């Protein structure tokens, strides 16, 4: 039974675009921490949680900024074997035009080895490979993600990490799990991801989390045009403008919980 959960990564682990509670996105990691806290309470154990993830971060930034903080809280006040660390990063790198796979993989593996050396248990994630539309761009991105995932699977096996790979299970490709920006998960997506993680950890979870969503009528015609128009000006254009200026959505932001907090937080 893990009595501390430390989550590292980017917007996926920060929780965008799940429910917004007390100025923070909830996210799959918070949802997993909820159940871990309940399971520990049954045994009379206290549970603490850290979430250092920040939207827009590249792998090298996660390694440089988040990993040293996490390592301070492993094997210090708690035995390392009581701690679970999740590491989910790489998608932002793969999406960049100047993606350097060798450099990204080197940074990724550096983090994995350091966490493994700390003695904590480690959970890794493959990226969903076919979340973009079909076409030349979608095909090229899928190939990039497959190559990235091949390293994740290889090093996961090497260090004995817990691995969540959504690609063999087609239900993860359901667009109903995506939020308005077409990049991050919505609340249903984060809920499903949390249940998938809990299943991997052999903790209580919703056994029906793989059930497909009910079909929703597709938006067509003028409504579809308006939806695309709003998406372009609300998400795509700001994203392009940040890329031109070399900025990131995570600039100036910090993780949600930078030190171990007693979970759940009392209201």
Q: In this predicted structure, what is the pLDDT of residue 173?
A: 87
**Residue 139, pLDDT score:** 86
Spatial distance between the Cα atoms of 136 and 123, rounded to a whole number of angstroms: 32
* CA gap 89, 107 in Å, rounded: 10
pLDDT value for 69? 98
**57, part of any domain:** yes
Q: What is the pLDDT of residue 230?
A: 67
Helix, strand or coil, per DSSP, at residue 123: strand
Domain count, the chain: 1
Structure tokens at 180: 């308005």
Is residue 248 in some structural domain?
no
On whether residue 38 sits in a domain, the answer given is yes
The 10s digit of each residue's pLDDT in 24-39 is 999 999 999 999 999 9
- Mean pLDDT, 10 residues at a time, the chain of 267 residues: 96 95 95 97 93 96 97 95 97 91 97 98 94 72 94 98 96 85 88 98 96 71 64 59 63 90 83
56 is in which domain, residue-wise?
4-212+255-262
Instruction: Give the separation between CA 41 and CA 83, rounded to whole angstroms.
Output: 16
**Predicted local confidence at residue 160, as pLDDT:** 98
CA dihedral of residues 252, 255, 259, 260 (deg, nearest 10): 170
CATH number reported for the structural domain that contains residue 41 in this entry: 3.40.50.1110
Residue 28 contacts residue 36 (beta carbons within 8 Å) = no
CA distance 224 to 202: 42
What phi, psi does 96 have (nearest 5°)? -75, 140
The per-residue pLDDT for range 149-159, each reduced to its tens digit, is: 999 999 999 99
240 belongs to a structural domain: no
pLDDT at residue 78 in the model? 94
Predicted local distance difference test score (pLDDT) of residue 18: 96
The predicted pLDDT at position 219 comes to 59
The reported pLDDT for the residue numbered 222 is 65
What is the pLDDT at residue 130?
A: 82
Q: How many CB atoms lie within 10 A of CB 238?
A: 13
- As beta bridge partners, residue 86 has 7, 123
Assign residue 135 a region (left: φ > 0; alpha: ψ between -120 and 50; beta: otherwise). Answer: left
Mark 112-144 as b/e (b = at least 16 C-beta within 10 Å): beebbebebbbbbbbbbbbbbeeeeeeeebbeb
227 inside domain: no
In this structure, is residue 149 part of a structural domain? Answer: yes
Structural domain includes residue 243: no
pLDDT on residue 131: 66
- Classify residue 219: in a domain, yes or no: no
Q: Indicate left, alpha or beta for 22 from its phi (over 0: left) and psi (-120 to 50: alpha).
A: left
pLDDT score for 134:
63
């Amino acid at each position: 039974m893990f009595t501390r959960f430390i989550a590292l990564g980017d917007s996926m682990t920060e929780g965008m675009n799940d429910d917004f509670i007390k100025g923070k996105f909830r996210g799959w990691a918070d949802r997993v921490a909820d159940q871990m806290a309940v399971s520990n309470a049954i045994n009379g154990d206290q549970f603490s949680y850290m979430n250092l993830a920040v939207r827009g971060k590249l792998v090298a930034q996660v390694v440089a900024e988040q990993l040293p903080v996490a390592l301070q809280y492993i094997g210090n006040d708690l035995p390392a074997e009581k701690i679970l660390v999740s590491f989910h990063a790489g998608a932002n790198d793969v999406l960049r035009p100047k993606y350097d796979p060798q450099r990204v993989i080197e940074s990724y593996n550096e983090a994995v080895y350091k966490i493994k050396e700390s003695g904590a248990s480690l959970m890794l994630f493959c990226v969903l490979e076919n979340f973009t539309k079909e076409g030349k761009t979608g095909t090229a991105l899928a190939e990039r993600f497959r190559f990235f995932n091949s390293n994740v699977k290889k090093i996961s096996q090497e260090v004995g990490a817990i691995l969540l790979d959504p690609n063999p299970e087609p239900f993860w490709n359901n667009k109903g799990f995506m939020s308005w920006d077409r990049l991050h998960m919505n609340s249903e997506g984060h809920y499903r991801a949390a249940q998938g993680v809990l299943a991997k950890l052999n903790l209580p979870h919703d056994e029906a989390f793989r059930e497909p969503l009910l079909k929703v009528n597709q938006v067509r015609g003028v409504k579809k045009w308006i939806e695309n128009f709003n998406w372009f000006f609300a998400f795509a254009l700001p994203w392009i403008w940040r890329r031109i200026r070399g900025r990131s959505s995570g600039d100036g932001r910090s993780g949600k919980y930078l030190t171990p907090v007693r979970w759940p937080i009392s209201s």
